[in-house]
């Protein structure tokens, strides 16, 4: 075998490495999911959006909740026994409202108990899906977020404020259109959230909380911690199974030349000798 053949083999191996690594990760995830299903006697569904090195050359892809996700989740729910519990693991920045509402509605109609696990974050649409669950299990430092709609890249509530604070003659047509769309989107999400929250609290409190989450009281990336979520009346606990945390380690970010976080494990802390 000549040197040129070895060089070609080397470059082919480097090109195929991301694909092989991704295949190994998929098999490891499947094994971990089956372990969690056996342990909890449930159907486990993951809805995880992270950058991953995918495809032939390993370019990172950024994902969010879309129609494909909704179709896949609904298919799993449809094929699950009506009385079997469902555990959905959420790690997402959010996504399309229509896809999010489809997933939330399907979970809400499921006859078995639904648990939403949030190991790190479930923002925006991820929070709306979590509201469809019977209980939400968060890591102590995980977060949910507001569900206020965004239109044209801006918060709907902020666009609507322009109409209140400026004379109509000074506002361009596009802003008026965006404000109208935003008002409708806010009303629709508030109604959906009220219905989802109705299973956890009385109707008046559900409407109040849905309004609080959707009207733009906070910035869209405001972190709602487990403690704050519980204080709002959501069915939240922090008993996240270690298997869920281990599963998240199998969704790595793209490999960087210089890691952002580095550490060396400290030795176990020793108890002082008795006197």
The tens digit of pLDDT for each residue in 246-269 reads: 999 888 765 555 556 666 766 776
Which among 41-50, 59-68, 254-263 has the top mean pLDDT?
Answer: 41-50
Domain spanning 7-132+239-256: which CATH class is it, in words? alpha beta
Q: What is the mean pLDDT of residues 93-108?
A: 95
User: Tokens 């909890």 belong to which residue?
Assistant: 40
What's the pTM value of the predicted model, to 2 decimals? 0.82
Residue spans of the domains in the chain: they are 7-132+239-256, 146-222
Q: Where are the alpha helices (DSSP H) in 41-155?
A: 67-79, 97-109, 125-131
pLDDT, tens digit, 9 for 90 and up, residues 14-24 = 666 666 777 78
Tell me what percent of the residues of the chain surpass a pLDDT of 70: 83
Q: Using CA atoms, how far apart are residues 118 and 90, in angstroms rounded to an integer?
A: 5
CB 68 within 8 A of CB 264: no
Q: What is the mean pLDDT of residues 232-248?
A: 93
pLDDT, tens digit, 9 for 90 and up, residues 135-166 = 999 999 999 999 999 998 899 999 999 988 99
pLDDT, tens digit, 9 for 90 and up, residues 191-218 = 999 999 998 999 999 999 999 999 999 9
Average pLDDT, the chain: 87
């Amino acid at each position: 075998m000549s040197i040129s053949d070895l060089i070609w083999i080397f470059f082919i191996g480097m090109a195929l490495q991301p694909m092989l690594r991704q295949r190994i990760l998929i098999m490891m995830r499947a094994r971990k999911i089956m372990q969690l299903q056996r342990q909890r006697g449930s159907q486990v569904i993951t809805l995880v959006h992270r950058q991953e090195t995918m495809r032939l050359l390993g370019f990172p892809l950024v994902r969010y909740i879309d129609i494909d996700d909704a179709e896949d989740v609904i298919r799993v729910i449809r094929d699950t026994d009506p009385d079997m519990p469902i555990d959905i693991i959420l790690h997402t920045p959010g996504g399309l409202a229509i896809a999010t509402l489809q997933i939330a509605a399907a979970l809400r109609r499921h006859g078995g108990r639904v648990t939403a696990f949030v190991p790190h974050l479930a923002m925006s649409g991820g929070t709306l899906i979590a509201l469809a669950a019977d209980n939400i299990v968060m890591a102590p430092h995980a977060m949910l977020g507001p569900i206020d709609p965004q239109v044209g890249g801006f918060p709907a509530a902020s666009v609507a404020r322009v109409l209140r604070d400026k004379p109509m003659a000074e506002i361009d047509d596009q802003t008026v259109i965006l404000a109208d769309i935003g008002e409708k989107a806010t009303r629709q999400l508030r109604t959906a959230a009220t219905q989802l929250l109705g299973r956890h609290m009385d109707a008046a409190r559900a409407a109040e909380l849905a309004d609080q989450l959707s009207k733009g009281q906070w910035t869209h990336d405001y972190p709602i911690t487990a403690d704050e979520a519980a204080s709002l009346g959501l069915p939240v606990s922090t008993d996240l199974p270690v298997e869920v945390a281990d599963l998240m380690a199998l969704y790595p970010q793209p490999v960087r030349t210089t890691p952002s976080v580095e550490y060396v494990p400290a030795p176990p802390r020793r108890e002082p000798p008795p006197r």
